[in-house]
Structure 1
């Protein structure tokens, strides 16, 4: 990775919210839109690679029996663990297992019904990125959900948001369920055929399920 461990460690050691996930209205609004995209009320086993300080992790724990939250920054995980332990609704949250993993090398040997990749893959070099995509698809169960969100303006990161999402759009085992784009690109994919999601609760059943990548299965976004 171009942005290696030292870069993120320094940022998270210097501040508990170095990327302003908690303090910016933009980030809160994006988070609400992102969570609203999830079609299911509950999930059994979720994976959040690049969990950072755990802002999204808490939200996933409110809808999942168990969340595996991973990051390669030990400092970021310290903030995430503290946030989870101090949550006011701690007794109502699902189990969260925090793990320091260097991905895609340390990929977990598990299957998930939800994987959320949020503001993570733009920092990956192309070779690691391609391996990450393949392992993500392989780790989803049939009917599993993949949630992707990345900041669109491309500055100095190895990959742009559009490049990141294009790699998933090209996967034959994934079908696009929903898409929202503005300053950020947000997409929801399901693993399986279009028929798998035709009558899925939480999706708009009246909308014809189509497998064209340019036409989401369900809820389309405002533009």
Structure 2
């Protein structure tokens, strides 16, 4: 495990070389995972949603129709420019450059989505993010985690590290586990703040 979270320059380098480095727009795997992500949400509508690490906005665009307001933040300006362009027809979506957990919005949310982001943080930043996410989550609000499970040596953590840390955190926070799904490639966990 590395001692530091991955910084904006790591992602900017990837997006400069390829505007869609993870094939969010074309991958069957990503399409199926996005469908499972949206299907896991147990409410038909969210008043105020927060997406951490929106990348180029493919999932943002799909999530927006069930949100009255959606704040999507990203560490890479290059990625977020594409997300803004993709979602310009969705007036309920706002975008902001933000380095979570060091920066965090003042708002409260009834949905926080952490999809494919947690393993870019070091352990200390993951713990800080847990506290900030929990504090921003309204009673009855949902936290949805989705992470790839395979080894990526350049990432500080693995998907299971992130989900296991939230599972431990949920026991003391408190957060109630609502739904869990594990495939060969990703893990999905939905929590509700009581």
Q: State whether residues 67 and 97 of structure 1, in contact with CA within 8 Å, keep that contact through their aligned partners in structure 2.
A: yes
Q: Does 1:26 align with 2:24?
A: no
Where does residue 59 of structure 2 map in the other structure? 56
Deviation digits for residues 176-209 of structure 1 (CA, Å, limit 9, x no counterpart): 11111011001111111xxxxxxxxxxxxxxxxx
User: 1:179-194, aligned counterparts within 5 Å?
Assistant: 179-182=180-183, 183-192=185-194
Aligned length: 186
Task: Select which of 121, 124, 129 maps to 1:124.
Answer: 121
Q: State whether residues 115 and 146 of structure 1, in contact with CA within 8 Å, keep that contact through their aligned partners in structure 2.
A: yes
Q: Does 1:144 align with 2:147?
A: no
User: 1:60-79, aligned counterparts within 5 Å?
Assistant: 60-79=63-82
Larger radius of gyration: 1
> C-alpha separation between the residues in 2 aligned to 1:111 and 1:81?
22
Judging changes above 3 Å, is the alpha-carbon distance between structure 1 residues 79 and 37 closer, same or farther for their aligned structure 2 residues?
same
TM superposition outliers: structure 1 runs of 4+ over 3 Å:
none
Report the structure, 1 or 2, having the larger helix content: 2
Structure 2's unaligned 5+ residue stretches are none
Deviation digits for residues 95-125 of structure 1 (CA, Å, limit 9, x no counterpart): 1110000111111111000000000010101
> C-alpha separation between the residues in 2 aligned to 1:13 and 1:163?
29
Q: State whether residues 149 and 187 of structure 1, in contact with CA within 8 Å, keep that contact through their aligned partners in structure 2.
A: yes
> C-alpha separation between the residues in 2 aligned to 1:18 and 1:153?
17
Q: Shift in Å at residue 94 of structure 1?
A: 5.2
What is the TM-score with the length of structure 1 in the denominator?
0.81
Q: Shift in Å at residue 151 of structure 1?
A: 0.3
Q: State whether residues 41 and 63 of structure 1, in contact with CA within 8 Å, keep that contact through their aligned partners in structure 2.
A: yes
Q: Comparing 153-162 with 139-148, which one deviates more in the overlay?
A: 153-162
**Aligned-partner SS, 1:113:** strand
Question: Root-mean-square deviation (CA), in Å?
Answer: 1.1
